[in-house]
Structure 1
């Protein structure tokens, strides 16, 4: 094979996980101000499955083949002209951005603002479980909700990517953490630091009392969850109900003028500052990667299938050998 091509995960039509395949595409070259990264791993995110199934087709269009993958870990392979402060061989983690997905490939070309250095001692493959979800959780709890020690925090979808990071951070920030997840995952979230664990299928929200902060990584039934806020409580949503996305976003927008407690919503788009801050959180022992299973590149479709089946504990990661 030509050394000017590389393996990448592609799809030629929208559909289920089986539309994914490993093909060859031109290998990128770092342009001025860019860095070429040899990708060692990427994780599977909910937005990947939505892009693949056609949920964002108004944005992604009908030009194929298309690619998947938002985040990555790897080593710096080459530098474009004008790049300083980065050395070939450094281990890095980063985010391509939601408009330029394609980290499911052997190489990516990125600007320095799109990645940071992986902390020493962190496994390069497992580390990819953190860049997107953990920066989202930090922003949600520390910056959007201003979580304070001693406050009651409810995390919905606590076993998933953002959820598991939020449980760890809530505990590190001194909150009283209640984690809501499937019954089979309650031991997992308890081990992450949750003081209280709730089976979301059997316990009614009204039974839980009121909370100072709610982080919602589930996206469903937001009006009911919002009523669980104390006066002055803060709710941050990092997911929408994909069965009713327009209605879900409409409710979030309306919450700023109706009822108790505005629902803050954002979609993480981390940059260099967030990655450097994440490295500090890891070094200080506030966060660790939670990897459910590692798949080889050729089984990316299986990783998508597993995520859509539900029940993930942390993240599904794909390794590129």
Structure 2
């Protein structure tokens, strides 16, 4: 077998999960400042589903084949020139940078050494693959919202990848956590630490009361949920309404540019400090991985299909080795 080749998941046209296929492509080599990571597992994220379906084609363009996979957990297989912090065999996790696009659905991936961190001792890489998005929740609640003990926190999409981490963190930070989720997932989010779990399909936002912090992982009805904020309240959103992206982005931009600081938006582009934070939260017991189902690499399309169907509890993880 040619060790310069590797398996990777590709697609040649926009569409549903059925467009994904497993192929063999050249194995990348690390450039200076990069590491080559042998991927053990990765998770499936909503943004890559939207990209694969063509909803982001203004950004992703029409050049094919394209790749999927954003985050990863694995081990360092080789290092480029100038990398001293990491060594071959180190267990690491990370997220590909904004300019790198997708591509972790593969046996190997190259990434800047600054964009990966070491796994906490004893954490299995497959479980670890469910946690990189938790760095988003840490940044959202602690850094962007400044969540304080005894404040009321509302988490939209509480059973999902970022949402489940936010529920755990909100409880660990001493907040009173209300979790919005499907009826079938209410016991799940209670088990994560939510003080109150509410079926978002049967309870209207106006019936929820007032909150000091709202974390939105959904992207729709931002104005409606902004109205639930107490004086001095903060809303952080990490999502865009994919049915109306222009309007959604326009509202968020106006919130920032015109000083409506109650709504704050950001997208994760994490480096070493964030990975150190994430590892510390795991080691301190503030965060635990929530893995719904583990799929083999050959069934990446099935993992995409499952996430699109809704109802995920934590993360769908794809095992590579």
TM-score band by shorter chain is over 0.9
1:20 is the counterpart of 2:20: yes
**Could you say which residue in structure 1 is the equivalent of 2:161?**
161
Indicate how the Cα distance of structure 1 residues 33 and 193 shifts in structure 2: closer, same or farther if over 3 A, else same: same
**Could you say which residue in structure 2 is the equivalent of 1:99?**
99
**Could you say which residue in structure 1 is the equivalent of 2:44?**
44
**Could you say which residue in structure 2 is the equivalent of 1:130?**
131
What displacement does 1:259 show?
A: 10
Q: Secondary structure, in 3 states, of the residue corresponding to 2:212?
A: strand
Q: Distance in 1 between matches of 2:319 and 2:126?
A: 7
- Root-mean-square deviation (CA, aligned residues, Å) is 1.4
What displacement does 1:315 show?
A: 0.6
Q: Secondary structure, in 3 states, of the residue corresponding to 1:125?
A: helix
Q: Secondary structure, in 3 states, of the residue corresponding to 1:82?
A: coil
**Could you say which residue in structure 1 is the equivalent of 2:69?**
69
What displacement does 1:261 show?
A: 5.9
**Could you say which residue in structure 2 is the equivalent of 1:172?**
172
Give me the TM-score of the superposition, normalised by structure 2.
0.97
Q: Secondary structure, in 3 states, of the residue corresponding to 2:124?
A: coil
Give me the TM-score of the superposition, normalised by structure 1.
0.97
Given that residues 10 and 20 in structure 2 are in contact (C-alpha distance below 8 angstroms), is that contact kept between their aligned partners in structure 1? yes
4+ long deviations beyond 3 Å: 255-261
Given that residues 178 and 196 in structure 1 are in contact (C-alpha distance below 8 angstroms), is that contact kept between their aligned partners in structure 2? yes
1:79 is the counterpart of 2:83: no
Structure 1: give runs of 5+ residues left out of the alignment.
Answer: none
Task: Give a deviation string over 1:290-316, Cα, whole Å, max 9, x none.
Answer: 111000000000000111111111111
What displacement does 1:284 show?
A: 0.6
What displacement does 1:258 show?
A: 7.8
Q: Distance in 2 between matches of 1:140 and 1:179?
A: 16
Structure 2: give runs of 5+ residues left out of the alignment.
Answer: none
Given that residues 231 and 260 in structure 1 are in contact (C-alpha distance below 8 angstroms), is that contact kept between their aligned partners in structure 2? no
Task: Give a deviation string over 1:223-274, Cα, whole Å, max 9, x none.
Answer: 1111100011000011111111111121222335889762101111111110
**Could you say which residue in structure 2 is the equivalent of 1:118?**
119
**Could you say which residue in structure 1 is the equivalent of 2:35?**
35
**Could you say which residue in structure 2 is the equivalent of 1:109?**
110
Moved more, 85-94 or 171-180: 85-94
Q: Distance in 2 between matches of 1:30 and 1:229?
A: 47
Q: Distance in 1 between matches of 2:260 and 2:22?
A: 49
What displacement does 1:81 show?
A: 2.3
**Could you say which residue in structure 1 is the equivalent of 2:237?**
237
Q: How does 1:221-260 map to 2 (within 5 A)?
A: 221-256=221-256
1:193 is the counterpart of 2:198: no
Q: Distance in 2 between matches of 1:11 and 1:161?
A: 24
Given that residues 254 and 260 in structure 2 are in contact (C-alpha distance below 8 angstroms), is that contact kept between their aligned partners in structure 1? no
Task: Give a deviation string over 1:160-208, Cα, whole Å, max 9, x none.
Answer: 1110000000000000000011000000000000000110011111222
User: Across the two proteins, how many residue pairs are aligned to each other?
Assistant: 320
Q: Distance in 2 between matches of 1:256 and 1:2?
A: 51
Task: Give a deviation string over 1:99-137, Cα, whole Å, max 9, x none.
Answer: 321011101112210100000111111101111x21110
Indicate how the Cα distance of structure 1 residues 257 and 277 shifts in structure 2: closer, same or farther if over 3 A, else same: closer
Q: Distance in 1 between matches of 2:115 and 2:141?
A: 22
**Could you say which residue in structure 2 is the equivalent of 1:290?**
290
Given that residues 229 and 261 in structure 1 are in contact (C-alpha distance below 8 angstroms), is that contact kept between their aligned partners in structure 2? no
